[in-house]
Amino acid sequence: MNTLHVKSGDTVVVLSGKDKGKQGKVLSVSPKNGTVVVEGINIAQKHTKPRRQGEEGGIVAMPIAMRACKVMRVCPKCQKPTRPAHKVGANGKVTVCKKCGAEI
């Protein structure tokens, strides 16, 4: 099983593509495919049909998956994009910011 540098709930910044520089929260992660879905980024328009009586169809904007290598985690303390470093402490292995040293 592959592991990724981001988890659900992390704040990330997009490194390349049409949404370069935008920040968002990770909604879901797929380690098997190496993809992430980020809130408000990589938006596609989906056409939906009404499935039940009284339901309306139409065009719905929704975020779609993008490659995990195109995003970088943002440190909650210094608000800068950073690669996570791992340190072994008293309470086990922790992830820290390479720029400010704060625990992520």
Q: Do 10 and 57 belong together in one domain?
A: yes
The total domain count for the chain is 2
pLDDT confidence band for 23 (50 / 70 / 90): very high
Angle CA 68–72–78, to nearest 5: 160
**pLDDT tens per residue, range 26-52:** 999 999 999 999 999 999 999 999 999
Q: Do 42 and 55 belong together in one domain?
A: yes
DSSP-derived secondary structure for the chain: ----S--TT-EEEE-SSTTTT-EEEEEEEETTTTEEEETTSSEEEEEE---STT---EEEEEE--EEGGGEEEB-TTT--B--EEEEEETTEEEEEETTT--B-
Reading the block at residue 28, the tokens are 């879901």
- pLDDT greater than 70 at residue 1: no
- pLDDT greater than 60 at residue 58: yes
Q: Do 66 and 78 belong together in one domain?
A: no
- pLDDT greater than 60 at residue 99: yes
Q: Do 46 and 56 belong together in one domain?
A: yes
Closest CA relative to residue 67, chosen from 11, 17, 22: 17
Range of the domain at 13: 1-73
Q: Please name every residue paired with 38 in a beta bridge, in sequence order, or none if there are none.
A: 26
